[in-house]
Chain A
Amino acid sequence: MRYSDKKTIFHRLDPRTKIILSVGCACLIVIARSPAGLFLLFAALLCCFLGMRPSAATLRTTAKMMGAVFALTVISQGFFYYFEPRTPLFVLLEKGSGLPGRLTGGIALYKEGLVYGMVQSMRLFSAAVMSMIIVMSTYPSDLVLGLKRLGVPEKIAFMLTMGIRFLPAIMEESRRIMTAQKLRGLKIKGVKGNFAAFRSLIVPLITDSLRHGRRIALAAEVRGFTGTRTEIKNLKFAWLDWSALFTVITVVGVSITCRFYR
């Protein structure tokens, strides 16, 4: 996922609001219990996501990713379901059959487990969709600024800014190193190949990055970096942010009440 430059309602929200919204969302994911509630949460987030008019390519990757997560969750929960009653659809390993059977206590695919997996995968989906909305609507450095204003120390914020700034270069460099390896005859196949590639990637990559880091540090020093700065970029809390905050706080409040006093 990447930031996409559009003018949706989410692009206009203050990064702080988005961070708080994501915390609210996380609370909802943890609190929600009934399938209906989970589904509602997911549907609401999905509507927001589609409201941003993501490109066809984004939709395709999203669908693929969700399909994989869905399959994995449903299958794993189908096998590992342990609540009663449960009806086995088919048995992979008999309970008493030999040592593996005794160690695992039998492996079977349960019908209720499949349903349970389908319901619970909504949690993962909600979290994923929420994250995607934020990443697509906020420029990374604005998020850093938001985090800083919410109390993350200046030095950590600087670290994140540096990370965002230099990560693309590092990725590019690792790709170049891997091409250089291939040109020198290294085959990146199999366990041995993977580890050989890793070994001969990591030494030059880290050494070079550290040298680079030394240069960056010198440049930062002569530009007077000490860890305290006046930031000229400003964030503004508009009515839109207040209403978004109000909505999320209400929803979280209501769900907590429902959960505890029913």
Chain B
Amino acid sequence: MNVFVISVLFVLAFGTALFFAALKRKMISALNTHDLIVIALMSSLLYAAGLPFKFGLGRLPFIHAFIYSVPFTAVLFIGIRVVPKAGAATLIIVGHSLLSQLLSRGINPLWWPYPFLAGFVLESYFLITRSYLQTRLNAVCAGCLRGLVMYLYFYLVSAPFIWHMHYAPWYVFIQTAQGVAGSGIGALIGFALSKPILQAYRHGGI
């Protein structure tokens, strides 16, 4: 019965991806050249964000999930605050994922569902709350939601059915909790830093 679960999930993941590609054709038409370039730069910045941690805390294996969630979420949320439009979140995450695949990790379709899922969760959250991280509470909830969905997806779907790896429930719980906490803290940092950045961006000239 495993076979069916795997194939169904795989098809589902690709289905969502395709669905999004179709949907995005409409969404991206609403983004102008400037937005696109800012999104492209934010995707690249996500890549650079982990740098201070690369040789320090990032090397500790057990709290990896926590350490990496913080800068990722912080930069991502600053990006969303800069371009508060539908589709921006997905494009930043997908852009980051594709960029790192094109430049260093290599094209790997097995990683494609992650960014789409993350984008989907955030976009739906923004649509439902009708706010693009305008308040601190909104940002923290969005961050925790992102962490929760991403880590649960990995440990409950991707790991057992694609990679055939199994983890004990307590381990999944600890890792997910770290992801949620890291993303929440990252969201707080991102929210706090987005204010001066937006202000500087507005007044600092070209």
Contacts and interface: CB of A to CB of B under 8 A. Distances in A.
Interface string B23-48: 01100110101101111111111011
B73 to A, nearest CB: 12
A29 interface: yes
Contacts of B10: 27, 30
A166 B75 contact: no
B102 A144 contact: yes
B41 A166 contact: yes
Contacts of A203: 193, 196-197, 200
Contact of A120 (B75, B165, B168, B171): B165
B12 interface: no
Contacts of A105: 168, 170
Contacts of B189: 199
Interface residues of B, number: 71
B49 A143 contact: no
Interface of A: 1-2, 18-19, 22-23, 26-27, 29-31, 72-73, 76-77, 79-82, 103-105, 107, 120, 123-124, 127-128, 130-135, 140, 143-144, 147, 151-153, 155-156, 158-160, 162-164, 166-167, 170-171, 174-175, 178, 188-191, 193-195, 197-199, 201-203, 205-207, 209-218, 220-221, 225-227, 259-260
8 contacts: A82-B166, A120-B165, A134-B107, A159-B36, A170-B44, A170-B47, A201-B52, A210-B41
Given A73-B165, A76-B167, A160-B102, 17 more contacts: A30-B10, A31-B6, A103-B170, A104-B170, A120-B163, A123-B162, A131-B105, A135-B106, A140-B102, A170-B44, A199-B189, A202-B74, A203-B197, A211-B205, A211-B206, A212-B41, A259-B3
